[in-house]
Amino acid sequence: MSMEIKSQFASESKKEEYLKIIADFSMSLIEQTTIDEVVWDIAKNVSLALGFYDCIIYLYDEKMQVLVQKAAFGPKNQLPFQIKNPIILPLGVGIVGSVGESKVAEVVNDTRLDPRYVVDDEFRLSEITVPIVFEGKLLGIIDSEHPDTSFFTNEHLEILQIIASMSANKIIQANVFESLQYQTERLKISNNRLLQFAYIASHDLRSPASNIVTLLSFLDLSKVGTENLLFLEYIKHASEKLLGNLNHLIEMVTDETNLLQNKERIEVDKLLDEVKQSICREIEISHAVIKSNFKVATIQYPSVYLNSILLNLITNSIKYRSPKRALVIEIKTESIDEFVCLSVKDNGKGIDLNKNKLKIFGRLERFDPESEGKGLGLYLIKLQVEASGGKIEVESEVDEGAVFKVFLPAKV
């Protein structure tokens, strides 16, 4: 057999070997979900599959502009999932930092001749460094060293670049996964806080509300002047409604598992009438005109929550009305995709979303120091809505009013 044919067979065999390495690497990477799992899997499989002396995975901290050792296989990995004396390299420092800065892979055949070389755990004579890049953005570095000079080949470089590309996609996926996990945990915490708030508030307020109702029942309305009779009727109605809501809320929060499943068929026009009645004095003082257009006439939702949402949004519109014009509030319902959208639009002062969009639903956030309030209304609405699988959005411009859109799941 000629040398040329032998060389061809050897080349084909090597190609098949590398394709198998990439296939195996891909299958292993698919099983990982978190960033820690991904980087440790990369370090281990690169070393074992390619026969490297070691492999270090750095991740890039964009805020600090440094590369941080996050996983290793070899002498720096004496205990499972631990790196012995992990180092941090500023961008541009060392061969690793230089590759991170340029985003171009390098093979150094003799580190003694390269002044950039930084000794980590021990001095080694050759190094291969490949950036992990996604859409032009540096994510990290795959780095390996060897005690011999000229150990790393062009084939090593090619296969590591393929692995780096696959790793970049997986790191992005893992980032998204961890972000969703974090948001889910925060939502759970928020829901628990909402539950605790509802439980404590309902129990603490039921007693004084009950006392008010009882005391009003003892009043002899025949001895009250005509001018005050109407206001007493308002107080009586409001206190009875308050006590009813608190009792209903207590029933719901006592059974935590059914808190959001305890939905009722609510006629939106009747709910609006109840809310308007409960704040009739505020509506009268503000001269607010409230218009409604309910394309969806009924909503399946816990009535206490929907009452709270509508009440908060209407009172916010009244609170932040403009002194330049008469207040008009438009309330609508409509079907949008899998949601029922309840929107409350006003022509008030508006909100500067460029400054406040990220904190508008934050706890204890207020945008007008001249207005009363604790900054809890929108925060509680957001918690209530998201706890049921919905969402809330806002559109606004300064001095042109605002519209809040509450999206409630249409499916029961």
pLDDT of residue 234: 65
Taking the domains of the chain in order of start, what are their residue ranges? Answer: 3-182, 262-412
In the chain, the percentage of residues whose pLDDT exceeds 90 is: 47
Res. 7 pLDDT band, cuts 50 70 90:
very low
pLDDT of residue 2: 44
Does residue 10 surpass a pLDDT of 70? no
pLDDT of residue 263: 73
Cα 25 to Cα 46: distance, rounded to the nearest angstrom: 8
pLDDT of residue 351: 87
pLDDT of residue 356: 73
Q: Residues 296-308: pLDDT tens digits?
A: 999 988 887 888 8
CATH architecture of 262-412: 2-Layer Sandwich (3.30)
Q: What is the mean pLDDT of the chain?
A: 82
Does residue 51 surpass a pLDDT of 50? yes
pLDDT of residue 19: 81
Does residue 90 surpass a pLDDT of 70? yes
> What is the 3-class SS of 214-262, one letter each residue?
HHHHCCCHHHCCHHHHHHHHHHHHHHHHHHHHHHHHHHHHHCHHHCCCC
Average pLDDT over residues 144-173: 93
pLDDT of residue 374: 46
pLDDT of residue 230: 62
Task: List 293's β-bridge partners, or say none.
Answer: 332
Cα 150 to Cα 363: distance, rounded to the nearest angstrom: 60
Does residue 201 surpass a pLDDT of 70? no
Closest among 388, 242, 188 to 301, alpha carbons compared: 388
- What tokens were used for 215? 């005391």
Enter the CATH code of domain 3-182: 3.30.450.40
What percent of the residues of the chain are helix, what percent strand, and what percent coil, each to the nearest 5? 50, 20, 30
In the chain, the percentage of residues whose pLDDT exceeds 70 is: 74
Average pLDDT over residues 143-158: 95
User: Rg (Cα) of the chain, in Å, rounded?
Assistant: 33
Res. 181 pLDDT band, cuts 50 70 90:
confident
Average pLDDT over residues 220-241: 66
> Which of these ranges, 18-22, 266-270, 317-321, has the smallest mean pLDDT?
18-22
Which residue in the block uniquely carries the two structure tokens 């008469």?
326
Q: Residues 334-381: pLDDT tens digits?
A: 999 899 999 999 999 998 888 877 677 765 455 555 555 445 668 778
Average pLDDT over residues 383-389: 79
Distances (CA, A) of 288 to 52, 104, 325, 328, 403: 76, 65, 10, 6, 16
Average pLDDT over residues 264-274: 92
Does residue 385 surpass a pLDDT of 90? no
Q: Are 197 and 56 in contact (CB under 8 A)?
A: no
Average pLDDT over residues 109-131: 96
Confidence (pTM): 0.49
